[in-house]
């Protein structure tokens, strides 16, 4: 759909072209050609700015170049937080409509009671070591902090490809360091394949606090899922995570490094204030309806 030829062939099949993700591998020239094709056929372009900094790319230059094409070309912009909207205004002099992210956990799961548990469990999911993650410094602080709390435990999860010498994510030094902490009883390390949705929801519900080990980024679907399931989140102060949903914040940026004290304080706060607030199915359903109505109104304004 990002190919101008697709637009040339299918322009009679749609009214509005709404872009969210999927253009990482496209050059600015290719994105310009897409915008030209849409304009040529009179099709409005809407772009929801989820990422001002791409979490999968260590160098921001490629994503910045893409945004320099897509954001000026879009007929309407949407983003998730006021902070992101201010950044868009500052960088491109464009106004973005701020609409929250809808629930990511299905309604039936939202209605299910959260399982009770006596222990306080902190989790870090390192996934496949995206470029925006700095895992080991965060885990070391958590291991020290959790060890001081009665009835507390630290779980660290990581994808199997990090242990595969043939995979791009292979990181034997990190696995060795995590394995050493596991052997000393400071954490429980689990290496596994990607979770499907239900496995991911089960995992998040098993945590009292999910710590996001990011050093750059903008928004988080993971945070939204935790909000749906009643799991507290400690998010870094880079990006605009704290404006998305109620969460704890600690200092962690690409250039400033980790503020160990604030991470420790986030864990202690989660421990003292549990259980975390949880979204209700009624509130999420109402919010989803409002988000849908806002999108429809935006689309109709373009078509008029």
In the chain, domain spans: 4-103+288-303, 107-273
Q: pLDDT of 231-257, one tens digit each? A: 999 999 999 999 999 999 999 999 999
For the chain, report the end-to-end CA distance as a whole number of angstroms. Answer: 24
From 121, 114, 117, select the one nearest 267 (Cα to Cα): 121
Q: pLDDT of 184-240, one tens digit each? A: 999 999 999 999 999 999 999 999 999 999 999 999 999 999 999 999 999 999 999
User: What number of other Cβ atoms are within 10 A of residue 9's Cβ?
Assistant: 10
From 96, 116, 74, select the one nearest 218 (Cα to Cα): 96
Domains 4-103+288-303 and 107-273 share a fold: yes
Q: pLDDT of 63-78, one tens digit each? A: 999 999 999 999 999 9
Considering only the top CATH level, what class is 4-103+288-303? Answer: alpha beta
Q: What is the CATH number of domain 107-273?
A: 3.40.50.2000
**Cis peptide bond upstream of 275, omega within 30:** yes
- Say how far apart CA 173 and CA 152 lie, in whole Å: 27
């Amino acid at each position: 759909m990002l190919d101008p030829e697709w637009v040339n062939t299918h322009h009679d099949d749609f009214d509005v072209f709404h872009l969210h993700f999927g253009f990482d591998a496209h050059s600015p020239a290719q994105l310009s050609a897409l915008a030209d094709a849409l304009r040529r056929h009179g099709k409005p372009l809407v772009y929801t700015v989820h990422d001002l900094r791409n979490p999968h790319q260590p160098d921001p230059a490629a994503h910045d170049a893409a945004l320099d094409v897509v954001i000026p070309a879009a007929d309407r912009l949407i983003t998730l937080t006021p902070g992101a909207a201010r950044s868009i205004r500052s960088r491109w002099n464009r106004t973005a409509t701020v609409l929250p992210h809808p629930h990511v956990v299905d309604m039936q799961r939202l209605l299910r009671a959260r399982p009770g548990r006596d222990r306080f469990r902190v989790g870090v999911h390192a996934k496949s070591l995206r470029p925006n993650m700095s895992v080991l410094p965060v885990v070391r602080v958590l291991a020290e902090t959790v060890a001081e709390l009665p009835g507390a435990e630290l779980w660290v999860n990581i994808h199997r490809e990090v242990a595969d010498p043939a995979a791009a994510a292979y990181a034997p030094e990190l696995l060795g360091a995590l394995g050493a902490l596991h052997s000393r009883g400071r954490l429980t390390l689990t290496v596994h394949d990607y979770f499907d949705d239900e496995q991911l929801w089960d995992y998040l519900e098993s945590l009292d606090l999910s710590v996001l080990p990011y050093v750059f980024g903008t928004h988080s679907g993971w945070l939204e899922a935790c909000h749906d399931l009643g799991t507290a989140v400690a998010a870094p102060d880079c990006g605009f995570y704290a404006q998305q949903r109620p969460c704890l914040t600690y200092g962690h940026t690409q250039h400033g490094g980790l503020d160990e004290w604030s991470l420790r304080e986030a864990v202690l706060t989660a421990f003292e204030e549990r259980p975390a607030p949880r979204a209700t199915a009624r509130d999420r359903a109402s919010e989803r309806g409002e988000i849908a109505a806002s999108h429809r109104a935006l689309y109709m304004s373009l078509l008029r």
